[in-house]
């Protein structure tokens, strides 16, 4: 664990002491080295399920893929941000990269935490850098509104969790996940226990986000610069999924009855947010709503509480993290050239950037879960486990899949096909940096087809 955490902390002096000329090169190289070292986690040797480096930090087969995704994303965020942060004063550039590095530090400590309270503290700590990135580097004036929504939704959801964790500490005497996963603290069926159950999960359902408490997400995804959108879509939403899986292990007897309304909301959310996507004119907004739709499926898979559901949820979280991040990068490259996120104004780009149209095509096919990509594997496992739970769910999940295909094609056809409008002539060509960025997003997705057990090894 420390082999990644210590180099990540060493990134801070690299950022502040490197010369302005080499700032981006050195930070990208350093973060890429961290990402490569983190790949060694995928070679799983522990038989017990946890590889403990000390009392408070450990990796298990649930957190390992999420930790590797977190580390893989930092060099990509730095690569994606170069173009629009470069004109700013050097101190602002350093601060920006520092915020991204601090976000990675908090996320590593959150996913690797063995104590629930440490997970909670790091879960909250990720708010601070994200909020600064949204409100300081966003483009429109709505960024302040987006920051407020993001902060208050997440805080209002997570305060009950803090109280629930304190109650758990009081009744069991420990908050260590290593111990709690073998004990089931809630056996009584009183109303107090039901409220405690809701308190444990609501913070994560807001973070996922579940349909109904998702209003912060479109704002928080559309307003920040590209790195903010990438880390939000790829990793911060997965904190909710990881936390839910961790808590569900302890909440077993109560979840059978109490999960019903949340599963119904998740299923309804797949349909509703997918339908909203079909009406979007804003490129980033469409990708943000598609994230809500996919994460609703993940929430449903986790709440059903079967090994298939958990496995499908993890696979879909990893695949969606890479694909939605890639889509945000592509949206940003189009925005940097046409200076518009409205799809009607920036259409027909295939004629101008043919290779980029290939990246759009592959990213969209991944988003609509084309076989044999891991997105389909995750979705099928969740749809199957939900069908097993209740055959009626197939109507909602099936319709959701059709709508996903519909809006993915709509996104591709609107942005790439058709005649190029006359007002977008003279665009700057694509850089190798941007093609490299897309390769580093999409190649892992394609490679996971060949060895998916890297994501779901924990369920054996």
Convert 320-365 into a string of H (helix), E (strand) and C (coil): HHHHHHHHHHHHHHHHHHHCCCECCCCCCCCCCCHHHHHHHHHHHH
| Residue 115: strand, helix, or coil | strand
- One DSSP character per residue, 247-270 reads HHTT-HHHHHHHTHHHHHHHHHHH
Average pLDDT over residues 371-400: 96
Output the CA–CA distances (angstroms, integers) from residue 384 to 307, 308, 376, 379, 398, in the order listed: 12, 8, 12, 8, 11
Which of 6-20, 191-205, 413-427 is predicted least confidently?
413-427
pLDDT tens digits, 296-306: 999 999 999 99
pLDDT tens digits, 36-75: 999 998 887 666 678 887 888 999 888 999 999 999 999 9
Specify the pLDDT at position 455: 81
Output the CA–CA distances (angstroms, integers) from residue 164 to 251, 282, 307, 317, in the order listed: 12, 39, 26, 26
Q: Is 80 exceeded by the pLDDT of residue 349?
A: yes
Q: Is 90 exceeded by the pLDDT of residue 418?
A: no
Nearest to 204 by CA among 247, 151, 234, 267: 247
More confident residue, 347 or 214: 214
pLDDT tens digits, 79-99: 999 998 999 999 999 999 999
Q: Is 70 exceeded by the pLDDT of residue 185?
A: no
Specify the pLDDT at position 181: 74
Nearest to 315 by CA among 383, 365, 267: 383
Q: Residue with structure tokens 């496995």?
A: 311
Specify the pLDDT at position 47: 66
CA distance 392 to 389: 9
Helical segments of 18-142, H only: 23-38, 63-85, 90-111, 116-125, 127-137
Q: Is 70 exceeded by the pLDDT of residue 248?
A: yes
Specify the pLDDT at position 43: 83
Which of 33-37, 122-126, 131-135, 423-427 is predicted least confidently?
423-427
Phi, psi of 151 (to 5 degrees): -65, -50
Beta bridge partners of 342: 282
CA distance 105 to 301: 29
Q: Is 90 exceeded by the pLDDT of residue 345?
A: no
CA distance 286 to 20: 37
Convert 399-443 into a string of H (helix), E (strand) and C (coil): HHHHHHHHHHHHHHHHHHCCCCCHHHCCCCCCCHHHHHHHHHHHH
369 within 8 A of 375, measured Cβ to Cβ: yes
Specify the pLDDT at position 421: 84
CA distance 413 to 347: 8
| High-pLDDT (> 70) share of the chain, % | 97
Average pLDDT over residues 183-200: 79
Question: Would you place residue 184 in the very low, low, confident or very high pLDDT band (cuts 50, 70, 90)?
Answer: low
Nearest to 231 by CA among 152, 328, 138: 328
Output the CA–CA distances (angstroms, integers) from residue 355 to 206, 345, 432, in the order listed: 38, 20, 11
Specify the pLDDT at position 39: 93
pTM here is 0.95
Nearest to 334 by CA among 313, 356, 354, 363: 356
Average pLDDT over residues 9-15: 96
* Residue 449, CB-side half-sphere exposure with 13 Å CA sphere: 12
Specify the pLDDT at position 26: 96
208 within 8 A of 237, measured Cβ to Cβ: yes
- H or E element that contains 393: helix 393-416
CA distance 454 to 298: 18
pLDDT tens digits, 252-268: 777 888 899 999 999 99
Q: Is 50 exceeded by the pLDDT of residue 292?
A: yes
More confident residue, 266 or 423: 266
The sign of the dihedral angle between the CA atoms of 310, 314, 315, 317 is positive
Q: Is 90 exceeded by the pLDDT of residue 269?
A: yes
Question: Would you place residue 186 in the very low, low, confident or very high pLDDT band (cuts 50, 70, 90)?
Answer: low
């Amino acid at each position: 664990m420390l082999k990644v955490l210590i180099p990540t902390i060493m990134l801070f002096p690299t950022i502040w002491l490197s010369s302005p000329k080499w700032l981006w090169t050195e930070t990208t190289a350093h973060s890429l080295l961290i990402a490569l070292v983190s790949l060694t986690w995928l070679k799983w040797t522990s038989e017990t399920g946890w590889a403990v480096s000390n009392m408070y930090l450990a990796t298990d087969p649930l957190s390992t893929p999420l930790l590797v995704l977190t580390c893989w994303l930092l060099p990509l965020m730095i690569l994606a941000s170069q173009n629009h942060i470069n004109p700013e004063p050097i101190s602002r550039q350093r601060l920006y990269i520092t915020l991204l590095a601090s976000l990675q530090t908090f996320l590593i400590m959150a996913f690797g935490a063995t104590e629930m309270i440490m997970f909670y503290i790091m879960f909250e700590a990720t708010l601070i850098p994200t909020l600064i990135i949204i409100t300081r580097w966003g483009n429109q004036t709505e960024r302040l509104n987006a920051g407020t929504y993001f902060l208050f939704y997440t805080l209002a959801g997570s305060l009950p969790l803090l109280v629930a964790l304190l109650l758990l500490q009081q009744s069991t005497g420990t908050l260590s996940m290593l111990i709690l996963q073998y004990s089931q603290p809630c056996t009584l069926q009183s109303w107090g226990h039901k409220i405690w159950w809701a308190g444990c999960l609501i913070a994560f359902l807001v973070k996922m986000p579940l349909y109904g408490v998702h209003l912060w997400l479109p704002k928080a995804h559309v307003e920040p610069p590209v790195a903010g959108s990438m880390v939000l879509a790829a990793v911060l939403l997965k904190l909710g999924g990881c936390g839910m899986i961790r808590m569900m292990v302890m909440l077993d007897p109560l979840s059978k009855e109490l999960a019903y309304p949340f599963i119904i909301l998740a299923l309804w959310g797949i349909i509703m947010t997918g339908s909203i996507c079909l009406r979007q004119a804003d490129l980033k907004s469409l990708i943000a709503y598609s994230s809500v739709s996919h994460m609703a499926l993940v929430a449903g898979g986790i709440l059903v509480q079967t090994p298939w559901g958990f496995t499908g949820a993890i696979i879909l979280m990893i695949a969606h993290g890479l694909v939605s991040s890639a889509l945000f990068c592509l949206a940003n490259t189009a925005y940097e050239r046409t200076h518009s996120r409205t799809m009607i104004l920036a259409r027909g780009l295939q004629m101008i950037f043919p290779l980029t149209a290939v990246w759009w095509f592959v990213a969209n096919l991944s988003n609509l879960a084309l076989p044999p990509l891991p997105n389909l594997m995750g979705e099928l496992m969740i749809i199957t486990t939900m069908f097993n739970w209740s055959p009626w769910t197939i109507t909602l999940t099936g319709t959701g899949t059709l709508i996903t295909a519909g809006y993915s094609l709509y996104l591709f056809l609107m942005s790439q096909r058709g005649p190029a409008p006359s007002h977008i002539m003279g665009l700057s060509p694509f850089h190798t940096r941007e093609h490299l960025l897309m390769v580093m997003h999409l190649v892992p997705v394609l490679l996971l087809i060949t060895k998916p057990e890297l994501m779901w090894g924990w369920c054996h």
